[in-house]
Amino acid sequence: MSAPRRIKIPTCALVGVIASVDELRLATGMRAPPDLFELRLDHLPNLRESQLLKLRQPLIITARHPAEGGKKVRSARRDLLLKFLPRAKFVDVELRSLHELGPVWDEARRRRVGRICSFHDFKRTPEPAVLHRKLLRARKAGADVFKVVTRAEDFRDLLTLFELLWIELAGMRLCVMASGKFGPISRLFFRDAGSSLIYAPLRHPLHQGQLTFQELRGQHDF
């Protein structure tokens, strides 16, 4: 496949995660919003396009697979993503879902929407060789950003993620974070280590180790 395009991303971009109607209301009235908003469509299956008109920042859209922390929805994830793709700056598709959501991935390229290929493991941090192979698959698929979130319960896990970021950053844009015990420090430390994106729920953490938008802003100069 062709080499991934270099989609312009602020260094480092703070992403505010919207996963509830309450957070959507909050986002529309923010005086100092994050660089981007992520719409968790698996948490907002009945979202209407008209509800997004007041959002001032670019959007990342995703409908997460249940095996990677997503919420089961009656609507097909493909349909949800295609519906909101025209409004998106980026779309996030899990590495495991590239075949299932191939029409979304291809349409995003046609529309010149940035493509984030992601991998989430909320139980553990895989070995470095496993993460490297996943990165190579994301690069081959033409991803603009490879996003990795794993559970880090000891310092070795944190070092594994840091080494991935530090060693592989020259090859493509990366977004690397941890959940679990070392989740908070990863979101502070990895920003300065080169992670292109750092995510923070606007109000309600979805996983252990997440810092909310206000907590992250209060602890670091975003």
d(CA 21, CA 19): 7
Residue 83 catalytic?
no
CA atoms within 13 A on the CB side of 51: 17
Write down the catalytic residue from 43, 65, 134, 147: 147
d(CA 151, CA 126): 9
CA distances to 26, 97, 200 from 209, in Å: 22, 25, 10
CA distances to 67, 68, 164, 183, 198 from 176, in Å: 19, 15, 8, 11, 8
Write down the catalytic residue from 72, 120, 132, 220: 120
Q: Are 119 and 94 in contact, with CB atoms under 8 Å apart? A: yes
Residue 65 catalytic?
no
Catalytic residues: 120, 147
